[in-house]
Amino acid sequence: MSTPWPFVASWWWPNNLGHVLVIPTAHHENLYDLPAQSGHAVHDVVREVAIAMRTSYGCTGISTRQHNEPDGYQTAWHYHVHVFPRYPDDNLYNSRRLPTPATAAEREPYIQRLLGSCD
C-alpha cells in the first residue's frame, strides 16, 4: 500500500473554490477494486484535508464525493475522493463546474492555506 496523495483540483465549482482530490498512488479503478487498507488510508487523509480546509478556508461545512461506474457518474477511471468546502447557500449540487480549469497560480493560495493549517 502506498500513501494517498491530496491535491487542490483544477476543476472548480463557482462557490466552492479550492476543492481537493485525495487519491491512492497505486491504481485502483473504483471502490470495488480498492483494498480495505488503501481505503482506510485514503479516508484518513480525507479527514485530515477536511479538518485543514475547515480551519483555513473559513467554510461552514465539508462534503465528500466519490463516484463509481458511468451510472454512478464516474468519469475518471482511478479511485479518488472529492473534498469540497461548503458555505451557506453555495448551491454545490445544483451548479456545474466552471468552464475552464483553474491554473496553478489560482490553486497556489489554497495549497498554502491548507499547508499553513497543518503546522
Interacting residues of 80 by C-beta distance below 8 A, sequence separation 6+: 21, 22, 23, 66
What is this structure's pTM? 0.92
Among the residue ranges 1-10, 44-53, 107-116, the one predicted with the least confidence is 1-10
Report the CATH number that the domain containing residue 66 is assigned in CATH. 3.30.428.10
**Lookup result for grid cell 489560482:** 106
- For residue 63, being part of any structural domain is answered with yes
**What is the mean predicted confidence (pLDDT) over 1-12?**
85
- For residue 29, being part of any structural domain is answered with yes
Q: What is the pLDDT of residues 27-51, one digit of tens each?
A: 999 999 999 999 999 999 999 999 9
Q: Which residues constitute the domain of residue 66?
A: 5-88+102-111
How many structural domains does the chain have? Answer: 1
- For residue 53, being part of any structural domain is answered with yes
- For residue 118, being part of any structural domain is answered with no
- Which is more confidently placed, 96 or 3? 96
**What is the mean predicted confidence (pLDDT) over 53-61?**
96
pLDDT of 117 strictly over 80: yes
- For residue 116, being part of any structural domain is answered with no
Mean pLDDT of the chain: 93
- For residue 56, being part of any structural domain is answered with yes
Interacting residues of 100 by C-beta distance below 8 A, sequence separation 6+: none
